[in-house]
Structures are given as C-alpha cells and as structure tokens.
Amino acid sequence: MQVPAPFDYERATSVDDAIGLLARLGATARLVAGGHSLLPMMKLRLAHFEYLVDINDLHGELGYVKVEPTRIRIGAMTRHRELLESPELLSSFPIFHDAERVIADPLVRNRGTIGGALCQADPSEDLSAVCTAVDASCVIRGLDGERVVSMAEFYRGPYETAVGNAEMLTEVRFPVRPHGSSAYEKVGRRAGDWPVVSCGVAAWVEGGVITDARVGLAAVGPNTTGIPAISQALRGRAPSEDLYAEAGAIAAAYCAPVTDQRGSAAYKRHLAAELTRRALRRAVARIDGREV
Amino acid sequence: MSFSKLARETTHSFSKLARETTQRFVDNDLTPMGHGRMLRKEDPRFIRGKGRFIDDLQLPGMLHLAILRAPIAHGRIVSVDVSAAEAHPKVKLVVTGAMLAERGLAWMPTLSNDMQAVLATDKVRFQGQEVAFVVAEDRYAARDALELIDVEYEQLPAVVNVRAALDPSSPVIRDDLEGKTDNHCFDWETGDKAATDAVFARADVVVRQDMVYPRVHPAPLETCGAVADYDAVDGTLTLWSTTQAPHAHRTLYAVVAGLPEHNIRVISPDIGGGFGNKVPIYPGYICAIVGSLLTGKPVKWTEDRAENLTSTAFARDYIMHGEIAATRDGKILAIRTNVLADHGAFNGVAAPTKYPAGFFGVFTGSYDIQAAYCTMTAVFTNKAPGGVAYSCSFRITEAVYLVERLVDCLADELKMDPVELRLKNLLRPEQFPYTTKTGWVYDSGNYEPTLREALRIADYAALRREQEDKRARGELMGIGVSFFTEAVGAGPRKDMDILGLGMADGAELRVHPTGTAVLRVSCQTQGQGHETTFAQIVAEEIGIPPADIKVVHGDTDQTPFGLGTYGSRSTAVSGAAAALVARKVRDKARLIASAMLEVSVADLQWDKGYFHVAGDPAKSVTIQDVAMRAHGAGDLPEGIEGGLEAQICYNPENLTNPHGAYICVVDVDPGTAVVTVRRFIAVDDCGVRINPMIIEGQVHGGLTDGVGMALMEILAFDEGGNCLGGSLMDYLIPTALEVPDWETGFTVTPSPHHPIGAKGVGESATVGSPPAVVNAVLDALKPYGLRHVDMPLTPSRLWEAMNGNPQPPI
C-alpha cells in the first residue's frame, strides 16, 4: 500500500471558509474535492502539501447544473456522475454525456468533480476539451470577490491554472444558443484510461450553413486549447465530408503531440484529424436530428 | 443438569446459531457427490470480504518494514548514510547491504542457482532494486524514514537491450560473478540441427519471421508481502508470506538463513492471485525475517503496487526468430528457431533445474513434423529479475505463440486457409503417446474433434462469408485461429527438480469418527478454488460429500511436503495425490466393512458412499459407519490399526498434455486502428473435468490475460533503464469492457497416467489465446499486406504498421 507523507487536514464549511483557510495557510495548502488525482499523487509522493482543505461539505453550495435562458451554470463541486446523469445537459449539450461515459470508471465518477478536474489541469483531461468546445468561462472567487476567465486564460501550462493561492474555482458557465449541438470522441488504450487523443466539438447550423463551430482537443499539447482557425474555416460554409476533413487537417496541423507510451506523435496527429472529423459529423447530425 | 446433557444442548444451540449465520449466504443447490458443477466452497468468505490475506494480519507489537529502492538502473554505490533515518523517533531499525554482508546475508540463491542481492552492496543493477530497509512503528513512519536515507551513486550506463548487452563493448552488469567479462547468461539448444537443416534444404517453401514476445507482468491484485515473527525463546520462526510454494520456501529459508527447518513454519494464507509472481523468494521476505530477528518483534512488509510492478518476477521478454519449412501443398516439415532471452539483472527464473528455458522445447506445437531445432542465448540486462511467471507453463506461452504465428505466416505464404493448413498437419489420435522431435512425450490427444467443435460453435464458414462482404465495403474484420498443446504437471522426479527438490507432492486424508474428513495438500490455492476441487476429487473416490471435506493447505506445519502451485500442476500432481490417498483410505475401509458385514472382501461391492454385499444391496454399511467403527469400541479385523487415514507422496509418471482450439473474431477501425474483440470461441480439452464451472472460470481468466497481452500489456523501459510500467495507469491490464462474452466448449481426452484422467488447465487459455488474437488482427489487416506485427497491438502501434512502419516493441 502506498502511503502519503504527513499532512494536516481542515474541513471547510463554506466557500468563504475555504478561501479564508487557503489565505491563512498559504501555498502549502491545497483544496481536495474528489481527490482521485491529488491523493494518488500524494501517495506516490509526487506531490507534498502540508495542509489539505476538504471541500466535500460544499457540495450543497457548489453542486448544481442550472439551466438559464441564455446560459448554463455548473457548480465546481458537481460530480462526474451528476454530469453524466443530467437530463438538461443531455438534451442541450450531449457532449457532456458522451465524455462522461468514457471518463475513468464509476468509482472515480462518483467522487470526482468538474472543478477538481479542471483545476488539476492534466494535459489529457477530458472535461477541459469539453469546456473548451462549449466556450465555457470559469468563475474564480478570492478574498476580494469574483473574476471570470475564459478557458484559454484559465490554463497556464501543464498542471497550472489561473487560480491563485487564496482562490477557488466555484463555477463553470457557458452560453446557450439555438440550432446547435455537440459531440465528443475519444480514443483510449483501454476503458477508463486517459485519452490517447480526444476531441470535443460544439457546432451551430442555420439555413444550411455552419454559423459557428468550436473544437477542443485534449492530450496533444501542454494544455487543452481551442482551435480558432477551425472556427474561422467552418463559419458560413455548408457542412460536408470535405469540410470535416478540412477541419481535421487544421486540427492535425495545429496540435503539438509528443511520442509517449500512449502513442506516437504521428498517430496522435492523425487522430486529431480523424476525431475532429468524426465529432463534427456527429454534432451536425445531432442538429439535424439524424443522430442522438 | 448433567455435564454431558449441557454439552449436548449448548453444542446443539451453537450449531443452530452457526447454521443461521452461514446458510443465509449459501446458494449452492448443485451438490454433486464427486465431480460436477458446484459453487465454490471458499466463495462465501471472499464475497463477504472475510478472506484473510497477509495485509489483514495484525500481531501484538508488530512493526512495519519499508524498502528503499534504487532510483537508477545501473550504478555503483558510493555511500549510504542512514543517520537521519535512524534518528526518526518512530524508527526501530535501519539495515543496509553492508550490514547484511557482515552477517553473510547480503546475497541469496535464486531458483535458478544464480545469486541475487538481498540488499545491494556494490552496485544497483536494476531500477527498483532493494538498497536498504527501515523498520518502524507504523508503515507511514517507515515510508517517511526512507526519504531520510542518503545514498550516493556513481551512475553507470544502463543496458536494457539484449543485443546491446551482447556487444563486447557493453558494460558488465554481473561483475559480482568471478571472472565475468560479458553479459552472457547461458546458451541452450534442443532438437537435431543437422536433420533440421537437411529438411529445410529440400523444402519447397520456407517462411521466416522475427517476432518479439514483450516483457509482461503478472500484476496480481494482491501485491507480495510477509509477516515474520521470530520467537527468540524457543528459536522458531513463523513466516506468513504470499507464496505459491510454502514448503519449497521453507527449505530454502533453512538453507539460506541457517535456521533448523523444523523450527520454521511458513504460512500462506488467502492469496489474492499469483500467476507465477509468488513463486520466487523475494528480498522483501528475507528483509522481514532479518527485521524480526533483530528487533525481536513481528515485522510486516507489504509491497506497494509500484514495487510489485517494477521489482518482482516478470514474464516473457523473448526475441524470437522463427523459420518453418513445408511442401507446396501445405505439409509442414520442420521448424527452426533462435531466441534471445532477456533474464534481467539476476537469473531468477523459476523452472525445473534441467530446463533453463522452461518447457520452450515444445515449440513444435501440435503438428506432425519431421525435424526441429532451437538455439537460445540468455542475457543479463539492467532490468528486474524473474522470468517465467505469468501463467506461462514454463515458457510454453512463448513456444505456442511462435509456432501458431509461424503456421499463420505459412498459410499466408501458401494462400491457404489457416484452418485447412492446421487440419492437414495436426497429430492424429493413433500417434499418441507421441514423442516430439525435441523429445517431449505427449500423453494423449485427439485434436481434430476439438478444432471441429470450435469451428462448429463459431460457424466458421459463415464468419468467412461475413468477412468477404465486409472487405468489399472497406470494413476490417478478422478471424484468428490457434491450436495449442500444453505440457503441465511438473513433474517426474527423474527429470524434474527445483534446486534439488523433487517435484512430487504429498497428500494426507483423515476421516473423522462422524464421517467428515480433512484433506491436507502441499499445493496452495491463489484463487483457483482448490478447497472445492480437491474436496470433489476425494468425494468422488470415497463418497463423502464435498461439503463434509475440509481442504487444508498453505501451512508447512499442517500439510505434507510438496512443491506447490504453479505451471498448472495442482490438479495434475496434487489432484492425483488426493485421488490416490482417498483410494488408500477406501481400501482400508473395505477391510473394516467386510468385518462389519461379516463377508469376505471379495463379496463386497463399492457404490460411492457405501459397501454392500454383492447381490444383496440391503446389506450395507456407509463410509460414515465404517469411520465410526474405525475409531469406536470393539475389535477391528486382525492386523488393522484403528483410525481411518492415509498419506502418500505422488510422483507423476509424465506431464499431462491438455490441448485446445481457439477462434477469435475482431473488428479493426480503419480510421483509428482500434481493435475490438467481438467474439472468442475457446474449446479446451483438459481430460476428465472435475468441476466444469471452475474450469470455465480458469479459462475466462486466461482468455482475458491473453487479450491483455495481445492488445495492451507491455513492461517497457526507456534508454536509461527506467521502468515505464510502474503503475496500473501505465501498465494496462484489460477490464470486462475489453473482452467479449466468452464462448467455451470442450472435448474430453483423458490422461492415460493420471489416476482420474485429469490434466491441468489453469494456464491453457493464457497460452493459447494471444496468437489467436494476433492472428485475427493480422487476418483483418490482409488488405494492408502485413504478415506480422508485434504485440501489444495498441492502436498507435497498429496504425504505424498499417502505414508501412511496423516497429518491434523493444
């Protein structure tokens, strides 16, 4: 059994309490939500923190999926399983359901949270590709109040985010626009594994042309990022297999994969194209009602 | 109330209470008197979380041990400073290699007569090698203190590739061996070179193929561990350890540690999977013993997952060149092979002494051929020692993979259907017992019906039609076939021993006065269901229900000597012992029954559970009646001692040779190269079947292993010798989602020499399934003109191959 080095443990009673604890304890403290990334790293002694601030009691405050007329708000403590089982998300943004089906396993999904997943900032993290595709913003709260950043601003590098020492990600929100849908495609070496490559797509089609489309790729660079060039290439054009292939080619050119145990850089580049094509095709088919 | 009445009543209430609390969980309405399908007797405790594993053990005053391991693959130890660790308030003991060397314990023999460092003294030779250990009040403190030990290394170049290791300029890994100037471990050959070369020279067709069977790891759910408890007052050592071979281990501890063997008790409690990983003696066990000797307290060592994956017995790591010769019309004539075997830093292979390459000599497979020859060079590298482990039947996994891939390559060359080619070359029933061209005697086999049964279940012709339709649409579907012959149940003591210990196994059976019984065996279950199978074997012979027979194993103080469980030997060796000891008891019971019924022995008839007078079934005694008489008052027949028990030691006449035909159906996504195993048909022939449900369970597990090895498992290393498979996120093993619903079938060809005609089956599926999966994937990729791609067939490796860039994994 792997055992962590000594640490102290605090249990936050509210968001304000958690932020207060972080401010008091400084950089040696870390929030623990689901703990499925953090605790294994501590047990392997790859990460050392003097304090853990447990925020699982904040599920009541931060565990929600709220659908408003023009946007959806998801609380940072919403668990993977709640995203998987949310009927609202399934009907408006099926990309969440697609992704959650292939994230880890039921044990992890029962505990892991969207906030924890994004803040871990693993380059291969699935929900970051989803949030990039749906144009999400992250609400970060500190002692002085809230600020809102885009996904592109949120990521600062592998395992690094815009969330400061005495700050906490509280909410992920994204706009709801008509005539759109979304999809997620992932290739893993095994069920529950991190992706070799994965791709999230959200697209909107009106009058036979794509009015907007966003692509988020995971595991092909230091962070998950959107690919604005694909959006530019797709806007105003009629969906077709050729267009999907063109988008895929842009994805392949844009990404920066490295060779590792999961696959060669060439294969990952190929997957970036192939999965972009597949996810676009599926998202558009869903808009047309040809696929669920 | 009299005492005896009180005793009766309380006993009655106790047993009623016990029934109430246990029977609620017993759902076992299949209760054969002997062989047949029944639920496993051990499962109620496992499914209720009441198994008792090493790490569950808590002893008063017990301390905890943690091992400091080498962070680099090859380096000279310059200095080790343990002062800070010793100053930790909860630390009781810190031991280094130098301290062990003072006591002559720094090195220990491996199962292959090599020496392995318990704690490194001069150099570290693989990443994860044991360097020092700490004993502390709890496992957290022990682990914390490891970080306080300061080791300075002079880093040396790591040798991780066998070809590079053989280069004369390569650094010498084993400079501990006197006069050693290279990394050569051993050479081995089998077969007839001249005869084989002659056949190859005149063959119409010769197909050559290089193939790698990469290093894989057994990765049992329970890692290795031990609790050592040395009692300084009476000089006894009790060692609870994760071992598949408690008796063999006890003898080795006696030899290594110099403790008298009768003062050592090795207990192997419930084991959470072995697969060969728990055959060797690991430095951790020795460290735990030393820790207890020096502290006078019980000491527990539990390996973590990374330690298990990086430092314990691996399997395979064979780089093979195969050649197959045939006539133009598809008659296989000869097979020739050359193997480079990576044995890691120490030769820790667990195989019978005369067989340094295990049973790889059966590489001629199931075919009637004229000649065969193999040469092998084994090499030391800066990788973990071990070898053989992982359900491989002493390297038959590698042998079967080689021959079954070669046969498919030949079919491809001849443009023949791989099933047709196999049917043309399989050994015929009248050829058994069959002596192979490498000297192995297959005891029995009837191959064609087994293959035909697999074809029937699969509906092979329909699958080929479906494949044709799909190919026309650009879809990639493949059908792979493999046929294997296993050689299990080591072994005859004239040929087989491990470190001089003969591979015979004892059994002892006692029938109690009330007619229940206890069987004591030397083999050790790791999840295979021995407590059920062995009770059924005895039940079949003496007619006591399996529920009334307790099977005791895994404790050297309670069981007769034997070499344990690996290489599918339990049923083949200990199972035979169990049947024969039961027959011995039955022979004695017959003498007592003849006295009870007042007829001669010749007039008695046995009817599974009772003796009756021939021609008068009403005049009978049950085995339970005989048991009471054997222990009760009144005279027994002249020359018959009281009691009803017997003991034997079974020396197998030969190995047993189960066989099987496997068919795998895969779909390959042309865009992503992801392989989906859609169907898998496994028809196994393991002779007489004792508990078909347990056999199916063994086969299901082995098939899952096989899919894992074919598609995802590899213990890879980088150029610096860093192990890249140190966690289950990096070393992938398959889940239920990667495998189909298994379709199993069977044929029965009894073993002629096993007392009940049974053969081992534990490793059949692991041996037979990887080539079926690989053959299926290569069949799917026919349109790409690929003849071979090495395992593991991960999407990336397969995509590279489909794009003209097939790469060996090492």
Give the span between the Cα atoms of B559 and B519, in whole angstroms.
Answer: 9
Query: Chain A partners of B795 at a C-beta cutoff of 8 Å?
Result: 187, 189, 196, 263, 267
Mean pLDDT value of segment A21-36: 95
Question: If you ran DSSP here, which 8-state letter would residue B656 be given?
Answer: B
Of residues B139, B305, B672, nearest to A274 (C-beta): B672
**Cα–Cα distance list, B204 to B201, B210, B326, B336, B407 (Å):** 9, 20, 6, 16, 15
Asked if B775 and B481 touch (Cβ cutoff 8 Å), the reply is: yes
Question: Residue B509, SS3?
Answer: strand
Q: Which pLDDT value is given to residue B24?
A: 47
Asked if B354 and B495 touch (Cβ cutoff 8 Å), the reply is: yes
Question: How many CB atoms neighbour CB B364 within 10 A?
Answer: 25
The DSSP result for A157-195, as a single string, is ETTEES--TT-EEEEEEEE--SSEEEEEEEEESSTTSPE
**CATH class of the domain defined by A180-287:** alpha beta
Question: Residue B413, SS3?
Answer: helix
- Architecture field, domain A59-175: 2-Layer Sandwich (3.30)
- Any chain A CB within 8 A of the CB of B676? no
Mutate to test the interface with B, among A36, A241, A270, A278 (most CBs of B within 10 A): A270
Asked if B205 and B410 touch (Cβ cutoff 8 Å), the reply is: yes
How high is the ipTM of this complex?
A: 0.96
> Residue B392 above 50 pLDDT?
yes
pLDDT in tens, B85-101: 999 999 999 999 999 99
Query: Chain A partners of B734 at a C-beta cutoff of 8 Å?
Result: 190
- Any chain A CB within 8 A of the CB of B674? yes
Residues 6+ apart with CB under 8 A from A5: A42, A45, A48, B143, B144, B147
Residues 6+ apart with CB under 8 A from B83: none
Compute the nearest-CA separation of A16 from chain B (Å).
Answer: 33
Antiparallel, parallel or unpaired: β B371-379 and B332-342: parallel
- Closest residue by Cα to residue B568 from B598, B526, B517: B526
Q: Which pLDDT value is given to residue B12?
A: 59
The tokens for B346 are: 């120490």
Read off the amino acid at residue B24: R
* Whole-number average pLDDT of chain A: 96
The answer for B 284-343 residues in CB contact with A (under 8 A) is 302, 304-306
Mean pLDDT value of segment A153-167: 94
The tokens for A58 are: 């904040």
pLDDT in tens, B7-45: 556 555 666 665 565 544 444 557 889 999 999 999 999
Q: Which pLDDT value is given to residue A223?
A: 81
Of residues A5, A192, A271, nearest to B672 (C-beta): A271
Asked if B337 and B401 touch (Cβ cutoff 8 Å), the reply is: no
- Would you kindly state where each structural domain of chain A is located, as residue ranges? 8-57, 59-175, 180-287
CATH dotted code for A8-57:
3.30.43.10
Question: How many CB atoms neighbour CB B123 within 10 A?
Answer: 21
The tokens for B423 are: 């049917």
Give the span between the Cα atoms of B660 and A64, in whole angstroms.
Answer: 55
Question: Residue B753, SS3?
Answer: coil
Q: Which pLDDT value is given to residue A133?
A: 97
Q: Which pLDDT value is given to residue A1?
A: 75
* H or E segment to which residue B482 belongs: strand B476-485
Question: If you ran DSSP here, which 8-state letter would residue B619 be given?
Answer: E
Asked if B277 and B243 touch (Cβ cutoff 8 Å), the reply is: no
CA atoms within 13 A on the CB side of A242: 2
- Closest residue by Cα to residue A211 from A248, A236, A247, A182: A236
Question: If you ran DSSP here, which 8-state letter would residue B106 be given?
Answer: S
Query: Chain A partners of B128 at a C-beta cutoff of 8 Å?
Result: none
Residues 6+ apart with CB under 8 A from B587: none
Chain B: residue whose CA lies nearest to A272: B672
Compute the nearest-CA separation of B680 from chain A (Å).
Answer: 18
Give the span between the Cα atoms of B85 and B62, in whole angstroms.
Answer: 19
Give the span between the Cα atoms of B390 and B394, in whole angstroms.
Answer: 9
Antiparallel, parallel or unpaired: β B150-155 and B75-81: antiparallel
pLDDT in tens, B111-167: 888 999 999 999 999 999 999 999 999 999 999 999 999 999 999 999 999 999 999
Percent of chain A with pLDDT over 90: 96
- Any chain A CB within 8 A of the CB of B671? yes
Residues 6+ apart with CB under 8 A from B809: B212, B214, B714, B716, B790, B791, B792, B797
Query: Chain B partners of A192 at a C-beta cutoff of 8 Å?
Result: 735, 737
Of residues B305, B712, B732, nearest to A2 (C-beta): B305
* Whole-number average pLDDT of chain B: 95
Say what the pTM is.
Answer: 0.96
Give the span between the Cα atoms of A217 and A215, in whole angstroms.
Answer: 7
Chain B: residue whose CA lies nearest to A2: B304
pLDDT in tens, B168-203: 999 999 999 999 999 999 999 999 999 999 999 999
Rg of chain B over Cα atoms, rounded to whole angstroms, equals: 28
Question: Residue A218, SS3?
Answer: strand
Query: Chain A partners of B799 at a C-beta cutoff of 8 Å?
Result: 263, 267, 270
The tokens for B272 are: 């959470």
- Any chain A CB within 8 A of the CB of B368? no
> Residue B241 above 90 pLDDT?
yes
Q: Which pLDDT value is given to residue B25?
A: 44
Compute the nearest-CA separation of A121 from chain B (Å).
Answer: 17
**Cα angle B728-A42-A55, degrees, rounded to a multiple of 5:** 110
Q: What are phi and psi of B286, to 5 degrees?
A: -65, -40
Compute the nearest-CA separation of A3 from chain B (Å).
Answer: 6
Read off the amino acid at residue B753: H
**Cα angle B303-B308-B312, degrees, rounded to a multiple of 5:** 115
Out of B125-139, B248-262, B286-300, B790-804, which region has the weakest mean confidence (pLDDT)?
Answer: B248-262
Asked if A273 and A187 touch (Cβ cutoff 8 Å), the reply is: no
Answer yes or no: do A267 and B800 touch at CB < 8 A. Answer: yes
Q: Which pLDDT value is given to residue A126?
A: 96
Interhelix angle B396-414/B418-425, nearest 10 degrees: 110
pLDDT in tens, B529-577: 999 999 999 999 999 999 999 999 999 999 999 999 999 999 999 999 9
Asked whether this chain's domains A8-57 and A59-175 adopt the same fold, the reply is no
- Any chain A CB within 8 A of the CB of B727? yes
* H or E segment to which residue B692 belongs: helix B692-711
Q: How confident is the model at residue B257 (pLDDT cuts 50, 70, 90)?
A: confident
Question: If you ran DSSP here, which 8-state letter would residue B282 be given?
Answer: P
Q: How confident is the model at residue B1 (pLDDT cuts 50, 70, 90)?
A: very low
* H or E segment to which residue B293 belongs: helix B283-295
pLDDT in tens, B773-794: 999 999 999 999 999 999 999 9
pLDDT in tens, B484-494: 999 999 999 99
Answer yes or no: do A262 and B796 touch at CB < 8 A. Answer: yes
Answer yes or no: do A263 and B732 touch at CB < 8 A. Answer: no
pLDDT in tens, A193-210: 999 999 999 999 999 999
Chain B: residue whose CA lies nearest to A3: B140
Query: Chain A partners of B136 at a C-beta cutoff of 8 Å?
Result: none
Chain A residues with a Cβ under 8 Å from any Cβ in chain B: 1-6, 44-45, 187, 189-194, 196, 261-264, 266-268, 270-271, 274-275, 278
Asked if B521 and B240 touch (Cβ cutoff 8 Å), the reply is: no
